């Protein structure tokens, strides 16, 4: 602008000098631009250049995808820090980025159009979209059914009121599992590294694990909408490990971890690569347990609306500082060694795979594990263990009765506790869960003794699930096939999860992204996720076949007066 004004006021000789100078300046600019493009290519890329990593897209689309990516990244980070604080904010932000990177890296760009939805902001785009699906699912009336209010005796534990405490002497029948008055809740010293605890009857003073215990009811292990759930998973994922000993019972290596505020978790280590499929020649009872199966089972159970698995999170621990250096378990510590590759390994003492040929190894110290919130101590809340009527023979040659007798369910239906209440349909719920995740190892299940037979079934021990995606195991669904009975709320939710808008694999993928270990690698690979959809369709077919066979009472109507869609 200034140049033009100057030109207008000067004579022809000076004009030609200025013209020459302008030409020179233009030539210099062109030279500079050329230099930039050829030598400093990366630094001088213009917004419209074709450096897009997505060749099939136009330049504008690319720049949109970048801006969308970063905005959805921040919105994903902020909304997840509000709703799903599984890891502290700074760490979470870092992990989200790591996650994004991972997804971007894994997506082949040639299938960009097919994955268009995901590609909008890659990892985060998928997260935001999927989270909408997950959020929509949990907003659906089938996940918010009106339920009768819980009465006093519907809670597993309760904090005694002052009156309770005063009447204690006269009240012989006071439940043993009720937590005593305040004095019991306080510890005077920071004993052996434990925090000083000063919990009162005020819920605000309780650590998340205690709130979880106090929230267990006759109906379910936790309320999906309880804000404490997010605090609990965050707590499990971040607490400093104070103690680690091997947990006895069961066949495979697992540890009992203690936290400074008296919380405890059950640890299952990663033993094989995440995607290793179970060896076809292994019997299910010799299959390795998988840490990601424990995590995925918790998410699946929650998506099915059951809430019968204790919350499980994945975590990276340091085998040396979190186990070897602090354990008081002498038998376990003797099994530590350094592998030829320089990794810290141990194998513990147990029935299966506790030998130097099957070590659990860090890289060199870092180990992926699952941590399951521990249920209240058995002394406080005793449990009853039930043998599954459809238990496998656990023999390489013998068949179980249910495998030989197609009318086996008729006899089960007549026996207590299956002849009464909801036990049979509760069992069928568990069979559906197990079929979806390919868990053949449900030999027993447990209930809380205090609730008698009117209660949910605990779905503990899911380490042998998600072993195979290429095959389904119809025998797991035999209880449904033989009994032809299913809870109506379960069936309706299964149907919902088979619709494209709520597709089980999609909501599962998103649900699993909430776990801290999702930042390392997806907790279930895509073939496992699509196996879920395939198996779900099979469950619905079995129910349809039952209905077509004119079986009486296929559907157990637990939704009196609720009619969202015809059966
Ligand atoms: N979250 C939990 N809280 C408290 N106790 C638990 C929890 N999970 C499992 N248990 C108890 O620990 C026992 C052993 O755990 P688990 O069944 O997972 O181990 P396992 O080695 O897989 O056993 P198995 O070889 O019998 O299948 C279970 O029978 C159960 O009673
Ligand atoms: Mn097991």
Condensed to tens digits (0 to 9), the pLDDT of residues 74-92 reads 333 333 222 222 223 233 2
Beta carbons within 10 angstroms of residue 1's beta carbon: 4
Q: Worst-scoring range by mean pLDDT, 46-50, 313-317, 475-479?
A: 46-50
pLDDT in the model for residue 144? 96
Rounded-to-integer distance, Cα 91 and Cα 174, Å = 46
* Residue nearest atom 23 in ligand 1 by C-alpha distance: 250
* Mean pLDDT value of segment 47-61: 30
Rounded-to-integer distance, Cα 410 and Cα 408, Å = 5
Is there a contact between 413 and 419 (Cβ–Cβ < 8 Å)?
yes
Nearest to 131 by CA among 388, 513, 539: 513
Q: Is 456 left (phi over 0), alpha (psi -120 to 50) or beta?
A: beta
Q: How far is the CA of 174 from the centre of ligand 2 (A)?
A: 36
* Mean pLDDT value of segment 97-119: 29
Q: How confident is the model at residue 163 (pLDDT cuts 50, 70, 90)?
A: low
Radius of gyration of the chain (CA): 30
Summary mean pLDDT of the chain = 79
State yes or no: is 59 an active-site residue.
Answer: no
* Residue nearest atom 10 in ligand 1 by C-alpha distance: 460
pLDDT in tens, 191-222: 688 988 888 888 889 999 999 999 999 999 99
* Mean pLDDT value of segment 392-397: 86
Report the atom number in ligand 1 closest to the C-alpha of 350.
Answer: 21
* Residue nearest atom 21 in ligand 1 by C-alpha distance: 250
* Mean pLDDT value of segment 499-506: 97
pLDDT in the model for residue 280? 84
pLDDT in the model for residue 556? 96
pLDDT in the model for residue 18? 59
For the chain, the residue count is 567
Q: Could you give the 3-state DSSP secondary structure of residue 276?
A: coil
Report the atom number in ligand 1 closest to the C-alpha of 375.
Answer: 3
Residue 55, pLDDT > 70, answer no
* Mean pLDDT value of segment 122-136: 61
Q: How confident is the model at residue 51 (pLDDT cuts 50, 70, 90)?
A: very low
* Mean pLDDT value of segment 483-506: 97
pLDDT in the model for residue 191? 61
Q: 329, 426, 434, 441: which one is catalytic?
A: 441
* Mean pLDDT value of segment 479-483: 97
Report the atom number in ligand 1 closest to the C-alpha of 446.
Answer: 31
**Residue 418 vs residue 113, higher pLDDT:** 418
Rounded-to-integer distance, Cα 198 and Cα 183, Å = 9
pLDDT in the model for residue 251? 87
Q: Enumerate residues lining ligand 1, CB below 6 A.
A: 249-252, 254, 266, 289, 310, 372, 374-375, 441, 460-461, 463
Q: How far is the CA of 299 from the centre of ligand 2 (A)?
A: 18
Is 268 marked as a binding-site residue? yes
Is 512 marked as a binding-site residue? no
Alpha helices in 305-422 (DSSP H): 330-333, 401-404, 408-414
Beta carbons within 10 angstroms of residue 325's beta carbon: 11
pLDDT in the model for residue 388? 97
Residue 125, pLDDT > 70, answer no
Give the pTM. Answer: 0.76
Q: Worst-scoring range by mean pLDDT, 147-151, 246-250, 297-301, 318-322?
A: 246-250
Q: Which ligand lies nearest to the CA atom of residue 464 in the structure? A: 2
* Mean pLDDT value of segment 339-351: 95
Rounded-to-integer distance, Cα 156 and Cα 62, Å = 55
Q: Worst-scoring range by mean pLDDT, 37-41, 81-85, 550-554?
A: 81-85
Q: Is 191 left (phi over 0), alpha (psi -120 to 50) or beta?
A: beta
Q: How far is the CA of 484 from the centre of ligand 1 (A)?
A: 30
Residue 515, pLDDT > 60, answer yes
Q: How far is the CA of 104 from the centre of ligand 1 (A)?
A: 38
Q: Which DSSP letter does residue 466 get?
A: S
Report the atom number in ligand 1 closest to the C-alpha of 441.
Answer: 27
Q: Which ligand lies nearest to the CA atom of residue 467 in the structure? A: 2
Alpha helices in 199-340 (DSSP H): 208-214, 228-238, 291-303, 330-333
Rounded to the nearest 10°, the torsion over CA 92, 95, 101, 107 is -90
Q: How far is the CA of 460 from the centre of ligand 1 (A)?
A: 6
Q: Worst-scoring range by mean pLDDT, 45-54, 313-322, 392-401?
A: 45-54
Rounded-to-integer distance, Cα 292 and Cα 313, Å = 9
pLDDT in tens, 418-461: 999 999 999 999 999 999 999 999 999 999 999 999 999 999 99
Positive or negative CA dihedral for 234, 187, 330, 353?
negative
Residue 274, pLDDT > 90, answer no
């Amino acid at each position: 602008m200034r140049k033009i004004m100057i030109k207008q006021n000067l004579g022809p000789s000076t004009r030609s000098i200025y013209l020459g100078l302008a030409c020179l300046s233009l030539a210099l600019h062109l030279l500079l631009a050329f230099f930039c493009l050829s030598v400093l290519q990366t630094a001088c890329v213009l917004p419209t250049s074709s450096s897009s990593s997505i060749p099939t897209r136009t330049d504008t689309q690319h720049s949109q995808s970048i801006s969308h990516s970063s905005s959805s990244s921040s919105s994903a980070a902020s909304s997840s820090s509000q709703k799903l604080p599984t890891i502290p904010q700074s760490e979470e932000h870092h992990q989200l980025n790591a996650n994004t990177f991972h997804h971007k890296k894994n997506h082949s760009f040639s299938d960009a159009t097919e994955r268009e939805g995901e590609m909008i902001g890659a990892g985060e785009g998928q997260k935001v979209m999927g989270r909408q699906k997950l959020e929509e699912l949990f907003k659906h009336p089938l996940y918010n059914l009106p339920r009768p209010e819980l009465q006093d005796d519907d809670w597993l534990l309760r904090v005694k009121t002052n009156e309770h405490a005063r009447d204690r002497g006269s009240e012989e029948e006071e439940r043993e599992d009720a937590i005593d008055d305040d004095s019991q809740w306080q510890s005077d010293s920071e004993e052996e590294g434990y925090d000083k605890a000063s919990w009162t009857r005020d819920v605000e003073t309780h650590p998340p694990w205690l709130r979880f215990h106090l929230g267990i009811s006759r109906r379910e292990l936790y309320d999906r909408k309880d804000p404490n759930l997010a605090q609990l998973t965050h707590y499990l994922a971040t607490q400093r490990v104070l103690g680690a000993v091997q947990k006895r019972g069961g066949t495979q290596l697992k540890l009992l971890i203690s936290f400074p505020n008296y919380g405890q978790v059950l640890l299952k280590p990663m033993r094989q690569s995440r995607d290793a499929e179970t060896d076809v020649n292994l019997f299910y009872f010799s299959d390795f347990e998988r840490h990601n199966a424990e995590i995925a089972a918790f998410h699946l159970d929650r998506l099915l609306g059951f809430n019968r698995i204790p919350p499980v999170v994945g975590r990276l621990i340091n085998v040396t500082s979190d186990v070897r250096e602090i354990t008081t378990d002498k038998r376990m510590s003797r099994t530590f060694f350094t592998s030829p590759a320089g990794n810290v390994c141990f194998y513990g003492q147990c029935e299966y795979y506790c030998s130097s040929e099957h070590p659990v190894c860090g890289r060199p110290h870092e180990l992926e594990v699952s941590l399951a919130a521990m249920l209240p101590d058995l002394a406080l809340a005793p449990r009853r263990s039930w043998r599954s009527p459809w238990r496998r023979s656990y023999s390489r040659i013998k068949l179980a009765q249910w495998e030989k007798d197609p009318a086996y369910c008729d006899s089960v239906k007549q026996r207590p506790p299956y002849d009464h209440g909801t036990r049979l349909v509760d069992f069928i719920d568990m069979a559906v869960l197990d079929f979806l995740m390919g868990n053949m190892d449900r030999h027993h299940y447990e209930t809380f003794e205090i609730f008698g037979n009117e209660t949910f079934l605990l779905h503990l021990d899911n380490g042998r699930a998600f072993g195979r995606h290429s095959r389904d195991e119809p025998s797991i669904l035999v209880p449904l096939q033989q009994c032809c009975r299913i809870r109506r709320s379960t069936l309706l939710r299964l149907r919902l999860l088979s619709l494209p808008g709520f597709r089980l694999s999609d909501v599962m993928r998103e649900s699993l992204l909430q776990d801290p270990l999702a930042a390392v690698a997806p907790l279930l690979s895509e073939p496992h996720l699509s196996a879920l959809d395939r198996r779900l369709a099979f469950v619905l077919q079995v129910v349809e076949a039952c209905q077509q066979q004119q079986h009486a009472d296929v559907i157990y109507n637990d939704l009196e007066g609720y009619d969202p869609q015809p059966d």
